[in-house]
A and B are shown apart, each in its own frame.
Chain A
Amino acid sequence: MRFPGHAAAQTFHFQKVGNWQWVLNHIGYFWSLSRTHLYLALVSVVLGLALSLPIGVLAARRPRAYPAVLAVSTFLYSLPSLAVFALLLDITGLTDNTVIVALAVYAGTILVRSVTDGLRSVPEEVRLSATAMGYRPWRRLVGVELPTALPVIVAGLRVATVASISLVTVAALIGNGGLGQLFIAGENSDFITEVLCGVVLVVFWAIVCDGAILAGGWALTPWTRKQR
């Protein structure tokens, strides 16, 4: 129990702010939480991408489907994450799947827009040239249009990944939230070092994954770089 304004209680947690010994003693614990965390976040993003590719292709091909896809993704994205986790409790139970399904939907709403916008940004000349070279629609999509749209898709992938890594923590309120566990434990024992470790680790992994996707995108699109 906490006593705001109580002098002894105040000095108590300020002493604990820089508890480095505690941090060093829990490196192994941080690592195992990080692994669960990244597993939940990254599997969700991959699922979200798999979900959004066919929908994005459809929305880019059929101008009539575009507003409908946009509206559905806008409204799904607006749903509070805690509500979605809670609603899925009843369907998937209290498992990692609850978290993964919800996060995949969020990642999907971000990605479906980048896939669609990316494909729509492919210049008509490029499409026509590919057709003139004998590309069939399916091979043209995989071999020409998707690679051309890649920078836009990668940009969406970065946003979706960073958002997923941050959102996993919310799941700690109703189940397995990876590093979010540190927030709950820290709040319960009024131990701010633990919460700060969680925040720093979440931001750290977000930056690492963001950088990795950025590098991957750079390696996959050599034509976007200036020739010297």
Chain B
Amino acid sequence: MTAAANGTSFDHFYSYLTGHLGGGSGVIDRLLQHIGYSIEALAIGALIAVPLGLWSGHTGRGATVLSLLSNASRALPTLGLLTIFAILIGVGLNAAIIPLVFIAIPSILVNSYVAIAGVDRSLVDAAKGMGLTPWQVVRSVELPVGLPIIVLGFRTAAIQVVSTATIAAYVGLGGLGRFIIDGYASRNYAEIGAGAVTVALFAIAVEALFLLGQRLLVSPGVRRAGI
């Protein structure tokens, strides 16, 4: 039995969308929540992952642990992680934000490590030869040269967080996933469609924003040399 046979197809999602734009728990409200959770999770994740990745890449320590982490994070089902936290902490904001942070960390951490560890040794040696302190080497050589890969790590993390925040509606988080979960519970296909289309467009916008950011952030010299 398809949705269309029910007479409740997605055809009406557009009218649902325009009918539920404003107001509390309207589409705009849910979109802002979704953006808020994503930024929060990314920011906390970055505070943990970036320093750790930079340190690891600079000193070359912990490479094995990082490669294990990146493999394990791919296999770990996010819905399982979300439900474990929901059962342990109780349904709510914390139960959803903590797993979102966990999901943001691996790509940022691994990419920060790869970015710094992959910087041409001769560049680092030249910088040291010029008398730069270790901190200056990180800040003015390794960081700008590795930046494209670090931004890529953020992009991957952002996409994963946006996607998982949608799923987190199941354990009580707000955001755009609510329309899909609630719509499915009441078999309201217009609502499901409105949520799915909005969150898909949002994810595409995030991707586009990062592609643009990559162009603006990366130093022109690095971009041209392609190091």
Taking beta carbons and an 8 Å cutoff, which residues of A are in contact with B?
2, 4-5, 13, 74-75, 77-84, 86-87, 89-90, 92-94, 159, 162-163, 165-167, 169-170, 172-174, 177, 179-180, 183-184, 186-187, 190-192, 195-196, 198-199, 202-203, 206-207, 210
Contact = CB atoms under 8 A, between A and B. Distances in A.
Interface of B: 1-4, 9-10, 71-72, 74-81, 83-84, 86-92, 159, 162-163, 166-167, 170-171, 177, 180-181, 183-184, 189, 192-193, 195-197, 199-200, 203-204, 206-207
Interface of B is mostly: helix
Nearest to B159: A78
Nearest to A182: B80
Contacts of B89: 4
B75 A203 contact: yes
Contact of A183 (B74, B83, B184): B83
A2 B171 CA distance: 12
Contacts of B171: 187
B74 A196 contact: no
Contacts, number: 150
Contacts of B200: 79-80, 83-84, 87
A89 B1 CA distance: 11
Contacts of A174: 180, 184
Nearest to B179: A86
B79 A173 contact: yes
A23 to B, nearest CB: 16
B163 A186 contact: no
B84 A170 contact: no
